[in-house]
Structure 1
Amino acid sequence: MENQITTFLTFQENNAEQAMNFYIGLFDNSKIIDLHRYSSSGPGKEGTIMVAKFELNGKQFICSDSFVKHAWTFSPAISMYVECKTQEELERLFNNLSENGEVYMPLDNYGFSQKFGWVGDKFGVTWQLNLQ
């Protein structure tokens, strides 16, 4: 049996569900697979996500709302890399993901790609977007 490798996103502001739904709305072939919430008995805030599995364009992710406040958050050193088939798709994703976030590299031709952009979204997750 092969080991499954899945990206796990740990949110520290009780916004895992908001982020997951935002991402599912941006990418085709995306859905929530499984979702478990903290109950009134904790240890996390009641109703927040203990663990959720979801797909973005068929690729599985897992997320949770951490009840432990860590000294770290998301880092641009690790980012989601998206190959876009059209310029329209690239621009739509770039605009939506960068709204209320941060642009690390604006959409441009950097020599290694005809059009590329790198953003940190409003949740702190970073995305590299490349036109195939």
Structure 2
Amino acid sequence: MSLSVYLYFNGNCKEAIEFYSDVFGVADDDRQITTYKNASDFGGNPEDADRIIRSSIKVGDMKILMADVAKGSNLRQGNNFALQFETRDENELRTVYDRLSEGGKVHLPLQDSFFTSLFANLTDKFGISWQLRLEK
């Protein structure tokens, strides 16, 4: 059994894939990207042809799935969740924090917390909420 997160974007999924792949050092063979036009059963809106219908990247042991919503879809990007990134490497945590906060909004900067020595909460430039934690 496994549980994965699925993120939806409005036409900028490819940019998000590239960004997250760069931030987390995702190798090309740990990425999968399919556009609507490359889906075997695509018969939808021609404006969706170059949008991403399904993609995934592997970050550590987790798979993050992503797609662009089709034009006219009522499916929307949500804000009632956060992805949590944990590492034992303080330098890695600080690098990820710096990268994810670029163009985003920091709600709680990296600081000491009752449950860990470094914790942060931010929303990245794509509107995705993140919690970053130094695991000891």
Where in structure 1 do 4 or more consecutive aligned residues deviate above 3 Å? 68-72
* Pair 1:15-2:19 in alignment: no
Identity of aligned residues (%): 24
Unpaired runs of 5+ residues, structure 2, are none
Task: After TM superposition, give the deviation of residue 5 of structure 1 in Å.
Answer: 2.0
Worse overlay, 102-111 or 51-60: 51-60
* Pair 1:114-2:117 in alignment: yes
TM-score, normalising length: structure 1: 0.84
Matched positions, count: 127
Matches within 5 A, 1:70-109: 70=74, 72-75=76-79, 77-109=80-112
Post-superposition CA distance 1:50-109 (Å, at most 9, x none): 11122112311211100245484331x311111121221111111100110011111111
Report if the CA contact (8 A) 2:8-2:76 is conserved.
Answer: no
Tell me how far apart the structure 1 counterparts of residues 24 and 132 of structure 2 sit (CA, whole Å).
Answer: 13
Tell me how far apart the structure 2 counterparts of residues 57 and 23 of structure 1 sit (CA, whole Å).
Answer: 13
Note the aligned Cα RMSD (angstroms): 2.1
Unpaired runs of 5+ residues, structure 1, are none
